[in-house]
Amino acid sequence: MTSIALFNNKGGVGKTTLAYHLAHMFQRLGLRVLAVDLDPQSNLTAMCLDETELEELWEDSSELIEQGVKHRALPATGRVGPGQTIADAVRPILEGTGDIRPVHPAAVAPGLWLLPGSLELSRFEDKLSNEWFKTYAGDLAAIRTTTAFHRIIQSAAGEVDADIVLIDIGPNLGAINRASLLAADAVLMPLAADLFSLKGLRNLGPTLRNWRRDWQQLILPRVPDNISAPNAVMRPLGYVIMQPEMRLDRPVKAYARWLERIPWVFGTAVLGQETASSSDRTYEIATLRNYRSLMPLAHDARKPMFDLRPADGALGSTQKYVQTCFREFRFLAEAVLARVDGRETPMS
């Protein structure tokens, strides 16, 4: 089983959309896939489940949204139930009542499961932050806290016998993302060709290397054998360029200028190369065109863009666009798998 985190320090580049479609394409290629939503915004969960299921999953009669409303029983869908999010899994640690509580993945499609997220996961940020430095001294409670995501993912992946795990995380370098990335075997980075994405790479690369070094050299040797801990490999698989919708106020030349800078910034910042070249596109896995016109149809149909049919409103030339989308995501999924298997791009 291989775990891949999709991460960029800059938001708004289509990270969750990429995670959702990759998960479905991997499943289409015959893999058993577990998608994990570790972004407190829970957008991946919202893409995978309908509103009735979300209400059932996040049901909490103590929340303000329930105040003044007569409680009513929700129709059971069979896929989800209350108390089955990652936030629920770490609640005993957060409240000081115990260790992680197992949660069961929700079946999205045959061979594809979701470990749902929750807005409440943001409450775990301070706990993770406070416990981080205690792990250097081998504090057992701190180690259990920091390895919580890893152990939750391992348990869920074992339950469904997953071949691959895709981890969707938020666009920041906070404590939740640190614990999430430590649990990843590899990191896939969606980028936009703009100043903000390049600035994000400059911040991300050194931070990942520092986290990896500290965990492997200073913390992991202090973890007892009875606590499952990640190796924090976080191998950079490469980057996917998410092509923007071209506008009159953003000329093609400006896009090309930032595009040319990506290989050098990725090489120096993420890989730590001293002699990175702007012409070395080894780590550029693919460029995905903008499919904004398909997204509303996919959202209404509750399915990936490349599965849209005429009955979903994908008529005429739009259906050809759907076919192009399928080819691009299949190419991307196969390219990512090739790198995971070591057939392309050796570990840096």
Q: How is the chain split into domains, by residue range?
A: 2-62+73-294
In angstroms, the Cα distances linking 304 to 24, 47, 53, 281, 308 are 7, 9, 18, 29, 7
Joined tokens for residue 90: 């770490």
pLDDT digits (tens, 9 = 90+) for 144-184: 999 999 999 999 999 999 999 999 999 889 999 999 999 99
Give the model's pLDDT for residue 119.
93
Beta strands in 254-347 (DSSP E): 284-288
Contact (CB, 8 A) for 234 and 208: yes
Joined tokens for residue 16: 């969750």
How large is the average pLDDT for residues 33-46? 96
> What is the Cα–Cα distance from 200 to 265, expressed in whole angstroms?
10
- Judged against a pLDDT cut of 50, whether residue 66 lies above it is answered with no
Give the model's pLDDT for residue 158.
96
Provide the 10 A C-beta neighbour count for residue 14: 24
> What is the Cα–Cα distance from 178 to 266, expressed in whole angstroms?
20
Give the model's pLDDT for residue 251.
52
Average pLDDT, the chain: 88
In angstroms, the Cα distances linking 264 to 167, 236, 335 are 26, 15, 21
Confidence grade of residue 55 (pLDDT, cut at 50, 70, 90) = confident
One CATH from 1.10.3720.10, 3.40.50.300, 3.20.20.100, 3.10.180.10 for 2-62+73-294: 3.40.50.300
Adjacent-strand bridge partners of 270: none
Give the strand order in the sheet containing 284-288: 106-109, 112-115, 33-37, 164-168, 2-6, 186-191, 235-242, 284-288
- Is the pTM above the cut of 0.85? yes
Helices 148-160 and 86-95, axial angle in degrees (round to 10): 140
- Judged against a pLDDT cut of 50, whether residue 248 lies above it is answered with no
Give the model's pLDDT for residue 62.
40
Contact (CB, 8 A) for 89 and 101: yes
Of 56, 281, 47, 298, the residue nearest 166 (C-alpha): 47
Confidence grade of residue 290 (pLDDT, cut at 50, 70, 90) = confident
